[in-house]
Structure 1
């Protein structure tokens, strides 16, 4: 599978991010706002103004990877962050990527099978 490992540290950027930024612009944000090293192997998550877009930036050992997701409906859950960044676990990141609020997940019944 492509993507960050399960033991990677996950940081959420505070506030909203200009989604026009690419790898270079986001690495510059990582170096200034949370004062982290972009090539540390950590995952950095950024959310757009409307809340329906997120980008994940991480270093895979050979180069930077940038994942981008846009929800058709709804918004990604986002905590209020006072000090610049918030930390998530790998499980919380997986839930965030699916648009599930990890703070109060609501599990739905399994979909019915159509023959």
Structure 2
């Protein structure tokens, strides 16, 4: 998470902008920077606050759910980014998001 967040702010900034849907009322770069800061914070919190594992993991799962429309937008708007340069690749990416949500919930210790 922390690495991904840092890459939002640096090396992969344009790639992440491809995941911001056209209907988003905010500037693409603002969305990418904001989501990068959120990812850094969640990654650091997950690693540094083991006693807060449950709320941080749930927050991370919610974050992954909140950014899922961007993945749908990338598919629907046929935007290239991160090597997702075909409809098939962009469609396959959509199925990865539930796995990320499940991993975040597992990190939260859920389900019990």
Greater share of helix residues, 1 or 2?
A: 2
Tell which structure's C-alpha radius of gyration is larger: 1
Greater share of strand residues, 1 or 2?
A: 1
| TM-score grouping bracket, smaller chain normalisation | under 0.3
TM-score (norm 1): 0.24
TM-score (norm 2): 0.24
